[in-house]
Amino acid sequence: MSPIKGIQKLPVSIPLSKATNLLLLLHEVSNKLGRLDERFKYSVLGAELINTLSLNESVQSTRIEGTQVTFIEMIEKAHKTKITPQMNEVENYRKALQHGYEQIRNGYPISTRLILELHVLLMKDSRGTTEGSGEFRKIQNFIGPSNKIEDASYIPVDANEIAAYLSNWENFINKHPYGQPLTVDHLVKENMFIIDENSPSLLKLAVMHAQFESIHPFLDGNGRLGRILITLYSVQSNLISSPIFFVSEELEKQRFKYYHYLNTTRGTNPSWAEWIEFFLQASNRMADKLNLLLEDAEKIAKSGLAKCDKEIQKKTYLLTFRYPNTTANQISQELNISPATARQALNFLVEKNLLFKDTQAKRNVDYFNYDITQLIQK
């Protein structure tokens, strides 16, 4: 079978017969994200969970690319001297995600400039092809089971077309800076529903992710960067106000379906409805999981706080949801207290069975909040 070559520019269209069900599903996901956002805003944990959830997202996204690092290994990484290359990839993902969120929060939209910045962070000391870090590829690449182009399942756009396709992609996400509408001349319009720059954000999210993956602008790191952009666009488009909506875990569970439906959006005769439905269904399941996770985490946190006598104990306990594997030195630095005071608070939490203490260590003792790590790994 010959490979699929290239993609059409945006916007896209789907049959009217399939649009109604997709819009109903979109409404369902939007409502769940609204509940998640509201729940997060009023949670006693608040920002404490962002770090832990983003770390789990980093693990799940890099697993799609074949990395075998676990969430627990990354939690324990902070206090280890030896960091493996795979751990470094996960940490790079987390740093790129955080940098992107800070840029969005400061009013900078997703753009070519931001993509290049994120790619530099993502590829630092990576196992992959790093010579093109922060630069779009200058040669043809391909996706397939071997390193031979004749075995490729998909051949992306030519290197000299990347800038034009990304400009079109940016205008789809952010709208044209001078209000010029995207051309729809390439689309069949009869009995079709057009998804353009004015469409609901969740539909645009599904399309923008697939299109970025298909442009494949870098020699390496395209998949990871494309999944970071899911979270960033969710915040930029006000689907959710904090970077806590992650879909990689669901995509990783069905990675072959993920790649299959991405392929259906490519070539000269793309079919977008199947991909959009797959993406919305994955988003729906993930929204359910995140709502339940936050509800359960809130119960755990409130129960633990009720056992604390002093304010410093409460602050220390809440901080362990951000750092589930911590030390007295880390708590001391975060809360600006002495190591002795931090140690006293941590030991109190151990006595109340809220934390577990590594009794084998004599110095730099580790404390673990297994309640939150087990919850996230469900």
Do residues 360 and 246 both lie within one domain? no
Do residues 268 and 129 both lie within one domain? yes
State phi, psi for 11 to the nearest 5 degrees.
-80, -175
Domain-located, residue 299 = no
- For 41, the token pair is 């805003």
User: Looking at residue 129, what is its pLDDT?
Assistant: 55
Predicted TM-score (pTM) of this structure = 0.94
Number of domains forming the structure of the chain: 2
State phi, psi for 194 to the nearest 5 degrees.
-90, 130
Domain-located, residue 302 = no
Binding positions are 65, 216, 220-227, 258-259
Q: 22: which strand partners?
A: none
Binding positions for ATP are 65, 216, 220-227, 258-259
Q: What is the CATH number of the domain that holds 319?
A: 1.10.10.10
Domain-located, residue 357 = yes
Domain-located, residue 18 = yes
User: Where among 294, 322, 357 does a domain terminate?
Assistant: 294
| Distance of alpha carbon 16 from alpha carbon 186, whole angstroms | 17
216 given a catalytic annotation: yes
Do residues 119 and 244 both lie within one domain? yes
User: Looking at residue 250, what is its pLDDT?
Assistant: 94
Mean pLDDT of 59-79: 85
Q: What's the Cα-to-Cα distance from 316 to each of 12, 71, 72, 305, rounded to whole Å?
A: 50, 22, 20, 10
| Distance of alpha carbon 239 from alpha carbon 17, whole angstroms | 26
What's the pLDDT band for 80 if we cut at 50, 70, 90?
low
Domain-located, residue 13 = yes
Do residues 72 and 150 both lie within one domain? yes
pLDDT digits (tens, 9 = 90+) for 136-181: 999 999 998 888 888 899 999 999 999 999 999 999 999 988 889 9
Q: Which of 13-22, 47-56, 334-343 has the lowest mean pLDDT?
A: 47-56
Do residues 239 and 346 both lie within one domain? no
User: Looking at residue 46, what is its pLDDT?
Assistant: 80
| Distance of alpha carbon 132 from alpha carbon 220, whole angstroms | 8
Are 288 and 327 in contact, with CB atoms under 8 Å apart? no
Domain-located, residue 304 = no
User: Where among 259, 294, 329 does a domain terminate?
Assistant: 294
Q: Which helix (H) or strand (E) holds 279?
A: helix 272-305
Do residues 168 and 282 both lie within one domain? yes
Do residues 236 and 340 both lie within one domain? no
Are 292 and 36 in contact, with CB atoms under 8 Å apart? no
* Mean pLDDT taken over the chain: 94
Do residues 279 and 339 both lie within one domain? no
Do residues 219 and 256 both lie within one domain? yes
Q: What range does the domain containing 366 cover?
A: 309-377
Question: Annotated catalytic residue: which of 99, 119, 209, 216?
Answer: 216
| Distance of alpha carbon 297 from alpha carbon 49, whole angstroms | 9
| Distance of alpha carbon 187 from alpha carbon 166, whole angstroms | 19
Domain-located, residue 322 = yes
User: Looking at residue 103, what is its pLDDT?
Assistant: 98
Do residues 366 and 337 both lie within one domain? yes
pLDDT digits (tens, 9 = 90+) for 255-300: 999 999 999 999 999 999 999 999 999 999 999 999 999 999 999 9
User: Where among 294, 326, 361 does a domain terminate?
Assistant: 294
User: Looking at residue 189, what is its pLDDT?
Assistant: 83
Q: What is the CATH number of the domain that holds 243?
A: 1.10.3290.10
| Distance of alpha carbon 93 from alpha carbon 75, whole angstroms | 15
- 20/360: higher pLDDT: 20
Q: Which percentage of the chain shows pLDDT scores above 90?
A: 83
Domain-located, residue 115 = yes
Do residues 35 and 184 both lie within one domain? yes
Report angle CA 314, 315, 321 to the nearest 5 degrees: 95
Are 280 and 25 in contact, with CB atoms under 8 Å apart? yes
